[in-house]
Amino acid sequence: MGRKVFVMDDLSLITPKVPFDVRVDISSTANTRPAVSVVVSLYNYRKFIIETLDTIANQTLDSIELLVVDDSSSDSGDLLVESWLNKQTSRFVGARLLHHRFNGGLASARNTGFANANAEWVWVQDADNPLAPRALEQCHRLSQKVDNQVAVIHPLLLTVPAGASPQVFQGEGRIWQKSLFKPSNYVDAMALIRRTAWLDVGGYVHIPGGWEDYDFWCCLIEEGWTGVQCPQVLGSYTYHSKSMTMRKALPNVELLEKVLINRHPWLSCVGQTTGLM
């Protein structure tokens, strides 16, 4: 997949296709296509990554392919993943650690994962957020009952502020509608996505400061794709000082709003965007 470029006031949104090395490659002897490919993007989340991977290994769904894309981390988190994966030789249909040769950003890391996934449905997993044990089973079961225009199965998630108890459900009771995306994003990145839909819109686009997910949902909507909510709490979204939301998105809200509205003129998020990053 080539580069996608968007220009706004001399600002280019370039999504690099980063060369990578395969650090771990555990192939299944069953030679079967996985039900779900899980793509984990990793960048300097050494503190969180093993707990998150453990929740993936503990899923009730058996047929899982796991791809961890390390976006050239500098905290040795990739070494923890390498050691962890080498102890999981029989858990997954296939498992790989792909190491970017340079840092390309979140969109680039996710695109690398999707490009190398073998399942029809791909679960996008943040490196710092855990999953409930039945998350993949429940979302995959729903994906087998929807029509061909459904690109996204998104579950309910608990919001967990740093050092506090879970407070709210994200997206509770809100079905997939263009009008609901207009003022803000209400669907988190952690969702099950049809790989052909990802191909159709050209993948994720790098948005300086974040909001790649909001942009991706808007691109899907503009191409006629829809989504379905899995009405169960199947994971958590944790706010902490090192999260992308806290470090990049919140300090750059005004720029992000302008970029998104220029890319998707039907949005009206200026001064109103309080949704997910």
What's the confidence (pLDDT) of residue 246?
46
139-173 in b/e form (b: 16+ CB < 10 A) is bbebbeeeeeebbbbbbbbbbbeeeeeeeeebbee
What's the confidence (pLDDT) of residue 233?
86
Q: Which residue has the higher pLDDT, 115 or 27?
A: 115
What's the confidence (pLDDT) of residue 164?
57
In sequence order, the β-bridge partners of residue 144 are none
pLDDT band for position 254 (cuts 50, 70, 90): confident
Residue 1 has pLDDT above 50, yes or no: no
Question: Which candidate, 65, 66, 68, places its Cα nearest to that of 20?
Answer: 68
**pTM for the full model?**
0.88
Residue 274 has pLDDT above 90, yes or no: no
Q: Which of 129-138, 206-215, 234-243 has the lowest mean pLDDT?
A: 234-243
Query: Using CA atoms, how far apart are residues 96 and 147, in angstroms rounded to an integer?
Result: 31
Q: Which residue has the higher pLDDT, 232 or 273?
A: 232
What's the confidence (pLDDT) of residue 44?
95
What's the confidence (pLDDT) of residue 153?
96
DSSP H helical segments within the chain, as ranges?
46-57, 77-85, 106-115, 135-143, 178-181, 195-200, 212-222, 244, 253-263
Which residue do the tokens 């806290």 mark? 246
pLDDT band for position 241 (cuts 50, 70, 90): low
What's the confidence (pLDDT) of residue 4?
43
Question: Which candidate, 99, 110, 68, 77, places its Cα nearest to that of 210?
Answer: 110
Residue 28 has pLDDT above 80, yes or no: no
Q: Which of 110-114, 130-134, 210-214, 251-255 has the lowest mean pLDDT?
A: 251-255
Terminal-to-terminal C-alpha distance of the chain: 25
89, burial (CB in 10 Å: exposed 0-12, middle 13-18, buried 19+): exposed
Query: Using CA atoms, how far apart are residues 152 and 173, in angstroms rounded to an integer?
Result: 16
Helix, strand or coil, per DSSP, at residue 275: coil
Task: For residue 9, give both structure tokens.
Answer: 């006031």
Class of domain 5-263: alpha beta
Query: Using CA atoms, how far apart are residues 106 and 41, in angstroms rounded to an integer?
Result: 7
Instruction: Give the residue extent of every domain in the chain.
Output: 5-263
What's the confidence (pLDDT) of residue 110?
98
pLDDT in tens, 90-101: 999 999 999 999
Report whether 117 contacts 65 (CB < 8 A): yes
Helix, strand or coil, per DSSP, at residue 246: helix
pLDDT band for position 253 (cuts 50, 70, 90): confident
